[in-house]
A and B are shown apart, each in its own frame.
Chain A
Amino acid sequence: MLHGYALSLLEGAALTLSVAFLSLGIALALGLAGAVAKLSRSRIAQGVALAYTTVIRAVPDLVLMLLVFYGGQMAINSLGERLGWAYIDIDPWIAGVLTIGFIFGAYFTEVLRGAFLAVPAGQKEAAIACGFTPGQVLWRIVGPQMLRHALPGLSNNWLVMIKATAIVSVIGLSDLMNRAAQAAGSTREPFLFYGAAALLYLAFTTLSELGFAWLSNRLAIGTKKASL
């Protein structure tokens, strides 16, 4: 049915997932740090976080990926030559994961910042009045409530991330998109193979949405839902 390319597509899908999950970890860590920095009172922290989110969100993923892969390689090459190291190869997989994690850290910063702002201001004020330190406020009071508000934005960005992994095909990684394009090119049936790839991405999405729905219900315990 898929002219023999089915296994190839599945292998590509596995690679796509591996890149996506690892990038998620990196992005969440960076996003939390960035959001806290942006909401803090320190001008320096705010400035650095603003520069990070502005520059990284400003440059298309494709361009960043190429810069990290080729430019970074050239930088390491010249550094290596000067220090006398043997040639160190930047593995495309590592370049892909780092780039995507770094890019989405910036987007997660904005989502988490919006989520922090959605928690009623009184919560933070009451906590400070009760004597919690800023760290405790974040960890015990605002943080858990913030997660519920962050979920729509996080889920949006997670879905975007799975698909952003498609750009790693540019640096030679044989992900799902890459393999679909190869099959489409060889058989001249783009609709079939891009359709198949679309279905696989949809499968990832379904699982992700189910996961997020479960998480959303879990975090919304105790809140009232108004019906329009």
Chain B
Amino acid sequence: MQRRPLALALALILAAGTAAAQAPDWKKIRIGVEGAYPPFSEVGTDGKLKGFDIDIAMALCAEMQAECSLVQQEWDGIIPALQSRKFDAIVASMAITEERLKVVSFTNKYYNTPSRLVGKAGTTLAPTPEGLKGKRIGVQRSTIQDRFVTATFTGSEIVRYAKADEVYLDLAAGRVDVVFSDTLAVDGGFLKKPQGKGFAFFGPAFDDPKFFGTGSGIAVRKADTALQQKFNAAIAAIRANGTYKKLNDKYFDFDVYGK
């Protein structure tokens, strides 16, 4: 009685297996996205993905004349998912850092914005390791902000969350004293919304390349150099022909490409 379910299971796996064309011409590309990082990547009420990252991905695919499908993946496991070929590229506001370059390759950046601390409006806390000693700093796990505060704010208690939304919820509830996040994400995802009333940025913009990298790029597997080059060409193309500006202005008041 034990053999039949196993055989059935095996048959199911093989039957459901789709031989995806790993064509070196990259006509079909699967793109991994997070879907939980407004305004870059979120799920609308109709269940469809939307946001700056999504629009950029579709624009690049149109430029490369490739058919793209989006695969939603939790941030925690997004690089391992790329390694195990669940998708071919990651477009999820992923910063290009040395640490990540050890395991994946990146295209050129497609935007670059700094990170800042957010706390109660009018707070008297000093944005330094000494000033925040003993305080609770909320970050999303496995982000450049996480790495930065872990290394720099050693006297503070770092509280890590799986999703950006959870960080904001706990800031609003008072469970963490400050939050350290990408300026655009926390602005569009929290400060501009009603729940963000009474909170504001404080302190400088942090953008030390050692932690924050050189902007957000598209991650691909190390072996897929052809795909990397295609993306680079596409990024340059949409920058040149005005598509980038159109998408930029749809979401933001200033040019997010950065220096």
Contacts and interface: CB of A to CB of B under 8 A. Distances in A.
Asked if chains A and B are in direct contact (CB within 8 A), the reply is yes
A29 B4 contact: yes
B195 A188 contact: yes
A214 interface: no
A93 to B, nearest CB: 8
Interface in A165-195: 170, 172, 174, 179, 181-186, 188, 190
A157 interface: no
Nearest to A88: B17
Contacts of A74: 83-84
A182 B80 CA distance: 22
Contacts of B36: 181-182, 185
Nearest to A189: B195
Interface stretch (A2-10, A110-118, A123-131, A196-204): A2-10
A89 B4 contact: no
Contact of A73 (B1, B21, B84): B84
A26 B5 contact: yes
A8 B46 contact: yes
B72 A70 contact: no
A87 B19 contact: yes
Contact of B9 (A70, A88, A98, A170): A98
A77 B77 CA distance: 18
Given A172-B71, A188-B165, 14 more contacts: A7-B46, A29-B1, A74-B84, A87-B85, A89-B17, A90-B13, A94-B13, A98-B9, A98-B13, A172-B86, A174-B47, A185-B42, A186-B45, A188-B194
B35 interface: yes
Residue in A26, A101, A185 with the greatest tally of chain B CB atoms within 10 Å: A185
A32 B85 contact: no
B34 to A, nearest CB: 11
A87 B5 contact: no
A209 interface: no
Contacts, number: 102
A74 B85 CA distance: 9
A52 B18 CA distance: 31
Interface in B68-102: 71-74, 77, 80-81, 83-86
A86 interface: yes
A172 B84 contact: no
Given A170-B74, A188-B195, A33 B169 contact: no
B16 interface: yes
B134 to A, nearest CB: 28
Interface of A: 3-5, 7-8, 11, 26, 29-30, 32-33, 66, 70, 73-74, 77, 85-91, 94, 98, 101, 170, 172, 174, 179, 181-186, 188, 190
A169 to B, nearest CB: 8
Contacts of B42: 182, 185-186
Interface string B33-71: 001101000111111000000000000000000000001
Contact of B1 (A5, A11, A33, A170): A33
Residue in B2, B14, B21 with the greatest tally of chain A CB atoms within 10 Å: B2
Nearest to A48: B2
A70 B81 contact: yes
Nearest to A105: B5
B106 interface: no
A174 B20 CA distance: 22
Contacts of A179: 43, 47
A193 B184 CA distance: 26
Contacts of A29: 1-2, 4-5
Contacts of A90: 13, 17
Contacts of B44: 186
B109 interface: no
Given A73-B86, A86-B22, A90-B13, A185 B4 contact: no
A172 B73 contact: yes
19 contacts: A4-B45, A11-B47, A29-B4, A30-B2, A70-B84, A77-B84, A77-B85, A86-B19, A89-B17, A89-B18, A89-B20, A89-B85, A94-B12, A170-B77, A182-B43, A183-B45, A185-B36, A185-B163, A188-B193
Contact of B16 (A66, A94, A174): A94
A-B interface, 4 closest residue pairs, ranked by CB to CB distance from nearest: A4-B45, A185-B165, A88-B17, A86-B19
